[in-house]
Homo-oligomer: A and B are copies of this chain.
């Protein structure tokens, strides 16, 4: 299977697949005589795994760990759960931060006339 075919089946861009290979997230693909990367069915599975993990917001580093756990058939589910929990907490922190930004902005925006006049509480709050 050629890289474009893998890209289509996995939903991961060919460019990104090469990048993943270059950073060691996926193993180096075997090559045809002319140097084209050569993939098999199981690689589709592999990339889909990564794509789903990205969809849950896991970082590359975390995904490397997840792949290790995935391949380790004797893993303890405790380890996976811990990784997930750590990531959930990261998400919660970021959500909280952005929520506060949005809240502050909504408050300021509400107080702003939003017409042709220059007076603006948003600008004022930034400068004072």
Contacts and interface: CB of A to CB of B under 8 A. Distances in A.
Interface in A61-91: 66, 69-70, 72-78, 80-82, 84-85, 87-88, 91
A11 interface: no
Interface in A81-121: 81-82, 84-85, 87-88, 91-92, 94-95, 98-99, 101-102, 104-106, 108-109, 112-120
B78 A123 contact: no
Interface stretch (A14-22, A24-32, A33-41, A51-59): A51-59
A113 B123 CA distance: 51
Interface of A: 45, 48-49, 52-53, 55-57, 66, 69-70, 72-78, 80-82, 84-85, 87-88, 91-92, 94-95, 98-99, 101-102, 104-106, 108-109, 112-120, 122-123, 125-127
